[in-house]
Amino acid sequence: MKSKKVVITGGPSTGKTVIIQHLEAIGHHCFHEIVRTMTLEAKKEGDPESFVSNPLTFVKDPFEFNQRILNGRMQQYSKSKSVKSSCVFFDRGIPDVLAYMDYFNQSYTLEFEEACTSRRYDKVLILPPWEKIYVSDNERLESFEEAIEIHDHLERTYIKYDYYPVRVPTGTVKDRISFILNELKESN
């Protein structure tokens, strides 16, 4: 059985992690966001005075940091091929790496682009910025205005790689999960 690969993406604090946790709780296989752990590790090694919205300001080598994120997402993609389930969900996909690099005006090599073109997802669901639930914390460092800009970069990047992101409406977690599951039924 080939699993449908579904990305749940969006800017910071749009509810992605909560949705992934709920999908997992009802029996779906989910791959979790890897950046939060990496950001915490980088902050331990960096200068606490430099903690601003850009996590790249407190890593020694921003390109290497993004390379690790890319590799982690490619590993998740590879692991998803052996999952025996109708759907596999990803808290962010490979194109998210490029969207963030574009947002922070970083250049990337052809390897990053090839990772996006050679590893395709079946569906991309994007959660819009939602000020009502927006919270900044120790790993989520962006302001709400920056979150809107990141959302725009994510949407443009997925479109650039021939995806048609489906916008998940705001609402309760239950309503959003219902929307996602109905969207997947309709696309079969």
pTM: 0.86
Structural tokens at position 113:
């682009």
Range from 8-12, 21-25, 129-133 carrying the lowest mean pLDDT? 129-133
Which tens digits make up the pLDDT trace of 30-72? 999 987 666 655 555 655 444 444 455 567 788 998 999 999 9
Max Cα–Cα distance, the chain, nearest Å: 50
Phi/psi of residue 51, nearest 5 degrees = -75, 105
Structural tokens at position 154:
């994510």
Look up the CATH number of domain 4-34+61-186: 3.40.50.300
- The full set of domain ranges for the chain reads 4-34+61-186
- In 113-176, DSSP assigns E strands to 123-127, 166-167
Structural tokens at position 64:
């290497």
Cα–Cα distance for residue pair 65/57, rounded to 1 Å: 11
Sign of the torsion formed by the C-alpha atoms of 55, 20, 169 and 137: negative
For residue 80, the one-letter residue type is: S
For residue 72, give the nearest of 47, 57, 93, 46 by alpha carbon: 93
